[in-house]
């Protein structure tokens, strides 16, 4: 009897940032090295820095500008810590993600932040992060960078900041103690994760042609994007 079961398995393409098979291995190696050899033995927090749709096209059509998001996030975090502990040293590991759940262009920064600062005497001082202040600093850093590039006018900046919800957002997770390496490894893997999930891919065959359907886990089959095979793989 012929088996009717089939399974879709990603081919190891040896390319970066697209193949779920290759990048699953990379993310695990990255996470193990980060948690074992790099992070300090103190609590860390998962963070996400997001920008509004109003400014995303600038980054979509000029990818060199994506570096501004790193600087905006890092400087916002460092300046916030320096305001409370000017002699303390903050620490952060940041990673750029450029796609959302169903692969629309959505640049945002994921990171692991040291949940405090290290003073010159090497004493760790925990700090309760003010999310609203961090979000405000991040927003102003991004807008100032785009203003310096002459992509926004002062009127544009004032208009965006005047919105009740500007679209800038910062998420800060609960502190993860060094005694919980599994949670640290999970977040560290997420920093390096592939944007394409093998579990969300479906192949639809119709009249001799194939379409790749990419699903959102949140809404299942009700929320998806269809790609021609070459479009998806290219």
At residue 192, the 3 state secondary structure works out as: coil
Tens of pLDDT along 67-118? 999 999 999 999 999 998 999 999 999 999 988 776 788 999 999 999 999 9
Average pLDDT over residues 142-148: 97
CA distances for 153 relative to 49, 160, 201, 218, 222, angstroms: 23, 11, 42, 37, 40
Tens of pLDDT along 25-71? 888 899 999 999 999 999 999 999 999 999 999 999 999 999 999 99
Quick one: fold of 40-177? Alpha-Beta Plaits (3.30.70)
- What mean pLDDT value characterizes the chain? 85
Tens of pLDDT along 189-224? 989 887 777 777 777 777 777 777 777 665 555 666
CA–CA dist 74, 93 (Å, integer): 9
pTM: 0.81
Domain boundaries, the chain: 40-177, 200-234
CA-based torsion, 26, 28, 34, 36: positive or negative? negative
């Amino acid at each position: 009897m012929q088996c009717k079961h089939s399974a879709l398995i990603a081919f190891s393409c040896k390319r970066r940032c697209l193949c779920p098979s290759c990048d699953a291995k990379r993310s695990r190696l990255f996470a193990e090295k980060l948690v074992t050899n790099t992070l300090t033995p103190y609590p860390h927090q998962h963070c996400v820095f997001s920008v509004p749709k109003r400014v995303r096209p600038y980054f979509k059509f000029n990818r060199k500008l994506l570096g501004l998001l790193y600087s905006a996030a890092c400087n916002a975090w460092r300046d916030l810590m320096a305001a409370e502990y000017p002699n303390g040293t903050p620490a952060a590991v940041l990673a750029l993600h450029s796609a959302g759940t169903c692969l629309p262009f959505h640049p945002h920064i994921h990171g692991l932040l040291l949940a405090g600062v290290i003073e010159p005497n090497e004493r760790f001082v925990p700090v309760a992060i003010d999310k609203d202040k961090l979000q405000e600093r991040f927003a102003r850093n991004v807008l100032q960078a785009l203003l310096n590039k002459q992509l926004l006018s002062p009127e544009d900046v004032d208009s965006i900041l005047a919105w009740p919800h500007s679209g800038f957002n910062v998420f800060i997770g609960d502190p993860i103690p060094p005694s919980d390496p599994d949670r640290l490894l999970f977040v560290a893997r997420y920093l390096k994760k592939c944007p394409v999930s093998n579990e969300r891919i479906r192949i639809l065959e119709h009249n001799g042609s194939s379409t790749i359907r990419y699903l959102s886990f949140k809404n299942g089959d009700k929320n998806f994007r269809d790609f021609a095979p070459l479009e998806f793989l290219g």
